[in-house]
């Protein structure tokens, strides 16, 4: 889709300052550009929910501090949102065949497992296992690649790799889950949001 109507160029979304970053605004901006290029009015109702927006805002803050690079943090979150929106567009337009539909179900189950594990590792002391969470996230990545193989180009596959290269890395996960680390308040908010999505059956 990178060379197709739904593609966004790297310059389509301008970086914003850390203080004014809003995952909701970024997602809506990306969505509007995709929708305008696809001329699909039925997609206009696809909005990022408030809980997911809050999670992404916290993830951006952590990413910005961890990388020490505001532009890189913006790029990773932009990649994450773009891929999610494109998959949403494909799904809502019934573009997945039967095999891809089965892969989508496997991805959903694996993502649910990863989300529950991530929350559990935060809530239960001394249970955090970097390898377990990293493996689950990388399995999600592999399923995503399979799901969009027929639909998205190498550029989007690169975006998927870039997102998981950071968030599934042992160093990032260990830093994020450090019980005495500076990201503990962010992790608490992220897990609270993930828990809410799990309770609502979104994850």
| Distance of alpha carbon 45 from alpha carbon 116, whole angstroms | 28
* 3-class SS letters over 114-135: HHHHHHHHHHCCCCCCHHHHHH
What is the reported pLDDT for 16? 43
Residue 142 pLDDT: 98
Which CB contacts under 8 angstroms, 24+ apart, belong to 53-56?
A: 53/22, 53/23, 53/24, 53/27, 54/23, 54/189, 54/193, 55/23, 55/189, 55/190, 55/193, 55/194, 55/197, 56/23, 56/27, 56/80, 56/81
Domain-wise residue ranges, the chain: 51-200
Q: How many whole angstroms separate alpha carbon 15 and alpha carbon 11?
A: 9
Specify the pLDDT at position 89: 81
- Choose which CATH entry (1.20.58.340, 3.20.10.10, 3.50.50.100, 1.20.1440.160) describes domain 51-200: 1.20.1440.160
pLDDT value, residue 20: 59
Indicate the helix (H) or strand (E) that contains 20. Answer: none
Structure tokens at 5: 């109507």
Q: What is the pLDDT along the chain (203 residues), one digit of tens a residue?
A: 444 434 444 333 334 444 557 776 676 566 556 554 543 333 333 446 889 889 999 999 999 999 999 999 999 998 998 888 888 888 887 889 999 999 999 999 999 999 999 999 999 999 999 999 999 999 999 999 999 999 988 999 999 999 999 999 999 999 999 999 999 999 999 999 999 999 998 88
Does this model's pTM top 0.75? Answer: yes
């Amino acid at each position: 889709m990178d060379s197709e109507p739904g593609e966004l160029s790297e310059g389509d979304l301008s970086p914003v300052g850390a203080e004014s970053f809003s995952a909701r605004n970024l997602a809506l901006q990306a969505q509007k550009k995709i929708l305008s290029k696809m001329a699909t009015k039925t997609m206009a109702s696809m909005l990022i929910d408030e809980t997911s927006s809050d999670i992404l805002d916290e993830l951006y803050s952590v990413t910005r501090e961890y990388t020490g690079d505001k532009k890189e943090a913006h790029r990773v979150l932009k990649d994450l949102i773009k891929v999610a929106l494109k998959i949403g567009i494909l799904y809502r337009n019934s573009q997945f065949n039967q095999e891809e539909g089965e892969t989508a179900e496997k991805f959903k189950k694996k993502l649910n497992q990863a989300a529950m594990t991530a929350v559990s590792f935060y809530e239960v002391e001394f249970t955090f296992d970097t390898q377990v969470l990293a493996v689950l996230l990388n399995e999600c990545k592999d399923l995503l690649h399979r799901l969009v193989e027929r639909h998205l180009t190498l550029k989007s596959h690169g975006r998927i790799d870039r997102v998981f290269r950071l968030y599934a890395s042992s160093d990032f996960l260990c830093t994020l889950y450090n019980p005495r680390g500076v990201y503990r308040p962010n992790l608490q908010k992220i897990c609270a949001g993930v828990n809410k999505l799990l309770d609502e059956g979104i994850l």
